[in-house]
Chain A
Amino acid sequence: MEPPRVRCVGIGMRRSVPLNNRPQAPILSNDRALDVRLYLLTCCLPVSHLTLDDAATLLLQLEPGDLDDLARLREALTTLVFENRVPITSQPHVARAARLLGTLVEGTAETPSDAFADVSRAIEAAMAAVDALASAATLSPPPAAKAVAATRSAVEPVVTSAAATEPASVAAPEPVSASAPVPVAASVARTHAPVAHDPALDELPGDTDLDLLGDFLTESVDSLTAAEAALLELEADPSHEEAINTVFRAFHTVKGTSAFLGLGRIAAFAHEAESLLSRVRDQEIAYTRACAELSLASSDMLKALLDEVKHAAAGNGRLRVPHGYAVLFEALSSYDPGAEPTGIVGAIAPEVGDRAETSTGASSPASANDSGPAAARSSAASGEATIRVRTDRLDRLIDMVGELVIAQSMISGDSELDQRVQHELTRKISHAGKIVRELQDLSMSMRMVELRPTFQKLARVVRDTAVKAGKEVVFNVTGDDVEIDRQLADLLGDPLVHMVRNAVDHGVEGPDERVRAGKSRTGTVRLQAYHASGNVVVELIDDGRGLHREKIVAKAIEKGLIETDKGMTDSEVFNLIFAPGFSTAEKVTDISGRGVGMDVVRRNLEAIRGRIDITSAPGKGTTFAIRLPLTLAVTDGMLVRVGQERFVVPTTHIHMSFRPEPSMLSTIVGRGEVVLLRGELMPIARLHELFDVPDAVQSPLDGLLMIVGDAERRTALLVDELLGQQQVVAKALGDSLGKVAGLSGGAILGDGRVGLILDVTETVALAQSGGASQVRHAAERARANHAA
């Protein structure tokens, strides 16, 4: 079909912008249609919902031949008029636009290009009507509105309808400023869902059991996350029967439970979503792309609805309707596969009906116990019964076990215990010690969760980013069964999302560029997790274009981060992208261009005691390796002595320790004491000076230097001696001290004394700024406080 060269759209100033940018080559029209579809889809999502203005903008980007998108636009406009979200004077025009779009979509329009132009004119007229209303409203409220409002208040005692009253009181008396471009937004701001007329839906039921509600929320979010993963699987393999059932079950469970809790809106929506999936499951309709988008959007919408419940439960008790609710609801309930190809229907195994029925029956009450993704994934996992425990109880348990371990070691190390004489007592004590250590391991494992849910979310991020950026990307995950502290798993999520987006958006090249570079069209982003020396390592690997050393150097010099890259290793250069202020507004091809820089990523990771390293080869790809402790409850640390004090240095930050030779030491003007190790010059930080510890080793030649910190600012800490590696239970220093610079907490050591845990990043910063004296007193008080 030949696209008309002239668009007969006259929507004032909005016309020019997209037209200028319109790609003329038809080959691009697919990508563009995808963009528009995404845009339409985001209109259904909580970002914003479709207004007349949106419709006009979208229309500008469509052709009479873009049937799918025109159909969506029609749905959106139909919803607008059917729900009376446009002013009465504007409604006929919107209805006309919707009907004409219908003729285009159904192919009944006599001359599509004319009909298309008519649609534009109708929308223009609709907007003009709105504008007219707005300017009239500025002068005086229309008499009709006044009268209606007046009568309404008189009628109210008889007709008690909060749902209708409230929008009216919001919309009626407010004069809309004449300069406001789109007053529709004001009248549309309140989404009227098809089932939203019942005011009870806007509130939590009065007798809500908050505990039950909390469980419901956790469970629902978990099963929706699993559903999302299954939906992505379905996209790869639409006949994946178990995946369909997983999604169906998730929606079904949310529906059943929410109805029981009196959350009518969620129940109604989940019902629609479930119906769509049940039609897929029963082979009534094929699982197409449109169906996939709708299902994913539904999952998001359900999450948004659950969020509302969460907020309402925490605060004022009002449940707002998420943006786009009505549009999506309508799209779900009126979903019509129409002329979609139904080829895959036959491919689904015939026994799907039976199997599905069993799972439906079992899912409503039983799956309330499912512990989310893991359980939903394998139906065979029913053998592993689970129980939900509040995390604060678990934390207390772990704390108490930590105390028990220390108490135990105080007994076994007691000087009054003479092992040569008291054989029997010694044996009993060591037996108890063994049990206590096992107990500690067990209690730690209770907080451990698999990385799977964290990784699953990223599959969605990869997909969405790839679609948006026009990339073809395969996402591989290995090691998602590696377990990590739940708190860490949660905190790891955001940095990973950011990094994965970067990898897809900037790391992987577009298909054409890849072909030119002799690679496969499809890029690969791999996420792998594994254990390494007591840490969990999460690696994000892409096979894209790699980091561009020269560009990074140029940018760093421009930002004043370095003066020259002379003598800098590649690794040091790459680490510059983590420097604060490195990547901001301007796009540096390979690195983030989103305003949120990689420095935020690193800071977030450091907050959970993680470390991040980059390796990259031009044209081959980039690897980000994140090294994390297994848990935050226990710190794996190196116990060091400084004078009579003991400090714990987290092992994730230690590179090496060594005793320097006199030839390695020197003093440089402006940089102070430095040590030269294998060609690398590092400043020496004296812990005893930083924390004012008396009687410590003064010369590095008599003590040890411990190299800590990040690649671009390594520092050698001077300590007296290493006492050995030890796991300690980190404790806050107490409210009276608050945060002490250079320290992240304290720990009770095996002999009952207190060791201070170093915050390495801060300590290094302190040493370099030289402003350590202000923390000395605080550190002193910390020790005193803890000992007490």
Chain B
Amino acid sequence: MKFLVVDDSATMRRIVVNSLQRIGFTDTVEAADGQEALARFDASIQFVITDWNMPNMSGTDFTRALRTRPEGATVPVLMVTARSVKEDILTAMEAGVNNYIVKPFTPQVLKEKIDALLPAAAA
């Protein structure tokens, strides 16, 4: 399964990519902001993990744009964030984000979040 990891911090991207590797997902593509992510996204991407606050195009704007593309309508999007206020999360979900994960997280938690999203994607 191919992942798109979007974050403006290279360190953060590495943490996410390493975590993914440790739970068995080795196929990843990286992007530094929403615009780059939109450019790199194609039908082969099956899961998106994105930061919220990014320069140029935020995670929510990126997701909203992604949802307008036919190949991006049903791909699961997981938002990495430090906020866990429900209202904020709902706003992100309204934009098309499917679930969120609060920093810091362990690979195990990441795996749970991914696992939880896959059935919804397949439905």
Contact = CB atoms under 8 A, between A and B. Distances in A.
A163 B87 contact: no
B24 A168 contact: no
A108 to B, nearest CB: 10
Contact of B93 (A95, A148, A158, A190): A95
Contacts of B98: 84, 88, 91
A158 B24 contact: yes
Given A92-B67, A161-B115, A82 B87 contact: no
Contacts of B112: 197
Interface string B8-39: 00000000000000011100000000000000
Interface string B34-72: 000000000000100000000000000000000100000
Given A92-B67, A159-B111, A172-B123, A144 B94 contact: no
Contact of A144 (B75, B91, B116): B75
A159 B24 CA distance: 6
B73 interface: yes
B103 interface: no
Contacts of A190: 119
A84 B116 contact: yes
B90 A164 contact: no
Contact of B74 (A82, A142, A155, A163): A142
B67 A144 contact: no
Given A78-B86, A159-B23, A86 B120 contact: yes
B76 A88 contact: yes
Of the listed residues A86, A133, A197, the one surrounded by the most CB atoms of chain B closer than 10 A to its CB is: A197
Interface string A405-432: 0000000000000000000000000000
Contacts of A192: 116
B119 A164 contact: yes
A83 B116 contact: yes
B90 A148 contact: no
Nearest to B27: A151
Contacts of A86: 120
A98 B25 CA distance: 33
Nearest to B99: A84
Contacts of B86: 78, 102
A98 B90 CA distance: 7
Interface in A435-460: none
Given A78-B86, A99-B94, A152-B1, A88 B24 contact: no
Nearest to B96: A92
Query: Interface of chain B, helix or strand or loop or mixed?
Result: helix
A71 to B, nearest CB: 12
B101 interface: no
A767 B112 CA distance: 70
Contact of A152 (B73, B75, B87, B118): B118
Nearest to A173: B122
A167 interface: yes
A101 B120 CA distance: 24
Nearest to B25: A155
B121 interface: yes
Nearest to A160: B24
Contact of B123 (A145, A159, A161): A145
Contacts of A187: 119-120, 123
Interface residues of B, number: 32
A197 B1 contact: no
Contact of A151 (B46, B74, B90, B95): B46
Interface string A139-159: 000101101110110010011
B90 A78 contact: yes
Nearest to B64: A92
Q: Which of B73, B98, B111 is most buried by chain A, counting CB atoms within 10 A of its CB?
A: B98
Nearest to A130: B123
B47 to A, nearest CB: 9
Chain A residues touching B, range? 35 or more
Interface string B72-84: 0111100000000
Nearest to B121: A148
A163 B112 CA distance: 9
B93 A92 contact: yes
A149 B94 contact: no
Given A95-B93, A147-B46, A87 B24 contact: no
Contacts of A768: none
Given A161-B115, A197-B112, A148 B122 contact: yes
A574 to B, nearest CB: 57
A171 interface: yes
A81 interface: yes
Contact of A197 (B25, B75, B115): B115
Nearest to A167: B119
Contacts of A145: 74, 121-123
A412 to B, nearest CB: 75
A92 B95 contact: yes
A86 B25 CA distance: 25
A94 B95 CA distance: 11
A87 B116 CA distance: 12
B43 to A, nearest CB: 8
B74 A99 contact: no
B67 A102 contact: no
A92 B73 contact: no
B46 A171 contact: no
A386 B81 CA distance: 55
A160 to B, nearest CB: 9
Contacts of A148: 1, 46, 118, 121-122
A168 B75 CA distance: 15
Given A148-B118, A168-B119, A88 B1 contact: no
A99 B119 contact: no
Interface in A30-81: 78, 81
B94 A92 contact: yes
A106 to B, nearest CB: 9
Given A83-B116, A144-B75, A159-B24, A151 B94 contact: no
Contacts of A522: none
A187 B120 CA distance: 8
A164 B90 CA distance: 24
A152 B121 CA distance: 12
B75, B98, B123 interface centre (most CB from chain A within 10 Å)? B123
Nearest to B1: A151
A190 B120 CA distance: 11
A171 B99 CA distance: 19
Contacts of A151: 1, 46
Contacts of B1: 148, 151-152, 155
Interface string A93-124: 01110110010000000000000000000000
Interface of A: 78, 81-89, 91-92, 94-96, 98-99, 102, 133, 142, 144-145, 147-149, 151-152, 155, 158-159, 161, 163-164, 167-168, 171-172, 186-187, 190, 192, 197
Given A92-B67, A168-B122, 8 more contacts: A78-B90, A84-B98, A91-B93, A94-B93, A95-B90, A102-B87, A144-B75, A145-B123
For the complex of A and B, the 10 pairs showing the least CB-CB separation, nearest first, are A164-B115, A95-B93, A158-B24, A172-B122, A99-B90, A167-B119, A84-B120, A151-B1, A187-B123, A145-B122
Interface of B: 1, 23-25, 46, 67, 73-76, 86-87, 89-91, 93-96, 98-99, 111-112, 115-123
20 contacts: A81-B90, A83-B116, A84-B116, A84-B120, A87-B123, A88-B73, A91-B93, A99-B94, A102-B86, A149-B122, A159-B23, A159-B24, A159-B25, A164-B116, A168-B119, A168-B122, A172-B119, A187-B123, A190-B119, A192-B116
